[in-house]
């Protein structure tokens, strides 16, 4: 299984053009933004003010906020599109390039799918780690150049606390990306095309992210406001709830726009169990569909 993961990693990592636009765009984009802003701030007072404006004044906060792109609504609605597109293209590309029929006879199908998902998720996680690093170093550099306060000062307790918080958010982001891999896998395996994989995968992701509003609207139309409680079973809610428990020690407080409040506030482990159930549905569904496909034609 390890050798299979390495093979998939090399194959995915070597696709430089696809990775540049859909994976490395996060750290490269953030680096370019801060580099240009810092450079212009050396010659322009308004840009110097921008250095302070685009930093919170706390390098740990700026770095940790990066992970919200994969977790928190509404930022996750758009930020997850690029990793999802990357996963869908890689999965569906195997059909378009007709490479499955050459690989499948030599490898158990379930191992092949799991190794590919693991390689895709790992590459995006590496991109996010680099982005979080740039999000801390970029504002820190700008503030130091202009003598602006940028706390907290480096110390062992601060560093350990920062690394611990980063690990917690990285875990939730890893779960979120695994959900996306499940969406991409089912979409690509079902449609067998890059365009179909993209459209269906995007549809799954958007439906998940906006499910609160849709359930609220449906409950109003049907005069059954309790339908909004179904939101507690969605990946978006439970990932946010797990993040809230890890970072704040309390359940996620969800705004329901004047509709019926959520009937319960699930604990961390209940949300973790629901996410595990989604893994079984999405990844298990991908494996089942792929296992029954005819790939030799």
pLDDT band of residue 118 (cuts 50, 70, 90) is very high
Lookup: tokens for 268: 């961390």
Is 13 within the bounds of a domain? yes
| pLDDT (tens digit per residue) in 231-258 | 888 898 899 889 989 988 887 776 554 4
pTM: 0.88
3-state class (DSSP) for residue 56: coil
Backbone angle region of 98, left / alpha / beta, with phi > 0 → left and psi within -120 to 50 → alpha: left
User: Which residue shows structure tokens 């859909």?
Assistant: 22
> Angle at Cα 87 formed by Cα 83 and Cα 30, nearest 5°?
25
What span, in angstroms and rounded, lies between the C-alpha atoms of 151 and 59? 6
pLDDT band of residue 267 (cuts 50, 70, 90) is confident
Rounded to the nearest integer, the mean pLDDT of the chain is 82
pLDDT band of residue 55 (cuts 50, 70, 90) is low
Lookup: tokens for 150: 């940028």
What span, in angstroms and rounded, lies between the C-alpha atoms of 292 and 237? 32
Is 185 within the bounds of a domain? yes
Q: Which of 110, 112, 130, 107 is nearest to 19 (CA)?
A: 130
pLDDT band of residue 131 (cuts 50, 70, 90) is very high
> According to the model, what pLDDT value does residue 259 have?
43
Is 53 within the bounds of a domain? no
Lookup: tokens for 60: 């740990």
> According to the model, what pLDDT value does residue 170 have?
94
3-state class (DSSP) for residue 152: coil
CB-based contacts of 249-257 (< 8 A; 24+ apart in sequence): 254/212, 256/212, 256/216, 256/228, 257/213, 257/216
What span, in angstroms and rounded, lies between the C-alpha atoms of 90 and 33? 28
> According to the model, what pLDDT value does residue 171 have?
94
Rounded to the nearest angstrom, the gap between the alpha carbon of residue 22 and the centroid of all alpha carbons in its chain is 12
Is 156 within the bounds of a domain? no
Instruction: Tell me whether the omega of the peptide bond preceding residue 2 falls within 30 degrees of 0, making it cis.
Output: no
Residue 174 has pLDDT above 90, yes or no: yes
Is 100 within the bounds of a domain? yes
- Mean predicted confidence (pLDDT) in 115-140: 90
What span, in angstroms and rounded, lies between the C-alpha atoms of 294 and 296? 6
> According to the model, what pLDDT value does residue 264 have?
62
Is 172 within the bounds of a domain? yes
pLDDT band of residue 70 (cuts 50, 70, 90) is confident
> According to the model, what pLDDT value does residue 217 have?
81
What span, in angstroms and rounded, lies between the C-alpha atoms of 222 and 225? 8
> According to the model, what pLDDT value does residue 258 have?
46
Is 121 within the bounds of a domain? yes
> Angle at Cα 65 formed by Cα 161 and Cα 158, nearest 5°?
20
> According to the model, what pLDDT value does residue 6 have?
81
Residue ranges making up the domain that contains 273: 2-32+73-130+163-291
Provide the percentage of residues in the chain whose pLDDT is more than 70.
86
Residue 216 has pLDDT above 90, yes or no: no
The total number of structural domains that make up the chain:
1
> According to the model, what pLDDT value does residue 51 have?
66
What span, in angstroms and rounded, lies between the C-alpha atoms of 87 and 174? 14
Residue 86 has pLDDT above 50, yes or no: yes
Is 62 within the bounds of a domain? no
Lookup: tokens for 165: 């918080």
């Amino acid at each position: 299984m390890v050798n299979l993961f390495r093979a998939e990693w090399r194959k995915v990592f070597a696709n430089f053009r696809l990775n540049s636009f859909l994976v490395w765009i996060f750290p490269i984009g953030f680096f370019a933004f801060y580099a240009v802003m810092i450079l212009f701030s050396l010659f322009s007072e308004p840009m110097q003010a921008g250095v302070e404006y685009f930093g919170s004044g706390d390098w740990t906060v700026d770095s940790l906020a990066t992970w919200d792109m994969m977790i928190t609504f509404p930022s996750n609605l758009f930020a997850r599109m690029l990793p999802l597109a990357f996963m869908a293209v890689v999965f569906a590309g195997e059909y378009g390039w007709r490479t499955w029929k050459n690989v499948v006879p030599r490898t158990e199908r379930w191992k092949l799918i799991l190794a590919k998902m693991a390689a895709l998720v790992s590459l995006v996680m590496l991109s996010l780690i680099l982005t979080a690093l740039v999000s801390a170093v970029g504002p820190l550099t700008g503030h130091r150049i202009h003598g602006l306060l940028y706390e907290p000062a480096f110390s062992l307790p601060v560093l350990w606390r920062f690394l611990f918080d980063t690990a917690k958010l990285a875990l939730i982001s890893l779960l979120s990306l695994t959900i996306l891999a499940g969406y991409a896998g089912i979409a690509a395996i079902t449609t067998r095309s890059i365009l179909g994989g993209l459209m269906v995968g995007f549809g799954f992701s958007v439906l998940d992210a906006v499910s609160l509003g849709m359930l609220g609207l449906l409950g109003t139309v049907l005069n059954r406001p309790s339908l909004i409680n179904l939101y507690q079973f969605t990946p978006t809610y439970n990932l946010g709830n797990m993040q809230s428990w890890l970072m704040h020690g309390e359940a996620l407080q969800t705004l329901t726009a004047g509709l019926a409040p959520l009937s319960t506030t699930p604990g961390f482990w209940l949300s973790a169990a629901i996410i595990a159930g989604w893994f079984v549905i999405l990844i298990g569904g991908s494996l089942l569909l792929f296992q029954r496909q005819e790939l030799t034609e």
